[in-house]
Amino acid sequence: MKRIATPALVCILALATSACFGATITVPGDHATIGAAVAAASDGDLINVSPGIYTENIVVDKAVVIRGVQGSDVTTLTAASSSDAVVRITSSDVTLSGFTISGSTDRWGAGVWIDGYDYASANEFTAGISDVTVSKCVIESNQTGISVALADGSMLVNNTIRSNQDYHGWGACCYTGGIRICHCRYLPTLGTQVVNNGIYQNDGIGIVFSSNFWSISWDIAGTKIFGNNFYQNGNSDEGPLEYASDVSMCGLMAGKIKISGNKFQERIVDGWPAHGLWVWPGYEPDDAKVVGNPEREELGPNIPMPTP
């Protein structure tokens, strides 16, 4: 697995000299665009982005923190090209926080793509990146809100993921609206943490576990889905129940996964009851713990989240 020394570790090692490595770069003060700031940065740097509208597609290939300093209400990142992810993260140890992210509407698109695929391809199917955090973002009006592929230990915390689309005609288990956690190239995506997010009014599934290899057991060990509020997902006119689910598991899965403390919405779709958790028949995870997820007929997007 590709590993990069985290900024926190660098700081700890530097305490003996009372110094902490890593520069602070400002946008638009030091660089006019976020992409230019990433290109100029080194591992461990902090990129502070001032309020504004930034029209870019960004590839984050260094271990940096990118922060909208005044938050998502006033800091917007929209795709320059709708055919690619707005933010594609290809490095370990990245944090992205404080943005509204929109505009990636191609069928392969995502507001944020945590993408270990290229690393795995270049390293003969070695597992990809790790330890990426996306927090306090509003991710809306994309093909998919967040995609996670071959990236272990991703943290998706305190985000609003809403009004994203789905790609009709390819099946719910390939494309989704809210969050897509992918298994591909015979490699797992381990330890994804989806905590205290509002996931609502997406055309497709709230969260889908998607595999390209149906006959191969997919290890999702360490996955945790906790304290999320799901509301009115599955607005696709395609009709299948897997489209209408808040969490959908597609493929043969194994390993410990915990789904607890979420608020699901139970409703009728095309005359059939749609439940919060949907598992492809016969493909239930063999070591899943699913507890304390109340299903209610009416939920709103602003119900407070529980504490982990």
Q: How many CA atoms lie within 13 A of 64 on its CB side?
A: 26
The third-level CATH classification (topology) of the domain covering 25-296 is Pectate Lyase C-like (2.160.20)
Collapsing DSSP to helix, strand or coil, 40 comes out as: helix
Alpha carbon distance 220, 222 (integer Å): 6
Asked if 269 contacts 234 with a C-beta cutoff of 8 angstroms, the reply is: yes
- For the chain (308 residues), the mean pLDDT of every run of 10, in chain order, is 45 42 92 98 98 98 98 98 95 97 89 83 68 98 92 95 73 68 75 95 85 66 92 66 71 78 80 72 68 80 61
Q: Cis link prior to 28 (omega < 30° from 0)?
A: yes
What number of residues does the chain have? 308
Give the pLDDT confidence of 197-231 residue by residue, as tens digits: 999 888 888 998 876 555 566 778 899 999 999 98
Q: What are phi and psi of 34, to 5 degrees?
A: -70, -40
Environment class of 3 (CB within 10 Å of its CB; exposed 0-12, middle 13-18, buried 19+): exposed
Q: At 5, list the tokens.
A: 């020394």
For the chain, what are the domain ranges? 25-296
Give the pLDDT confidence of 235-248 residue by residue, as tens digits: 665 545 555 678 88
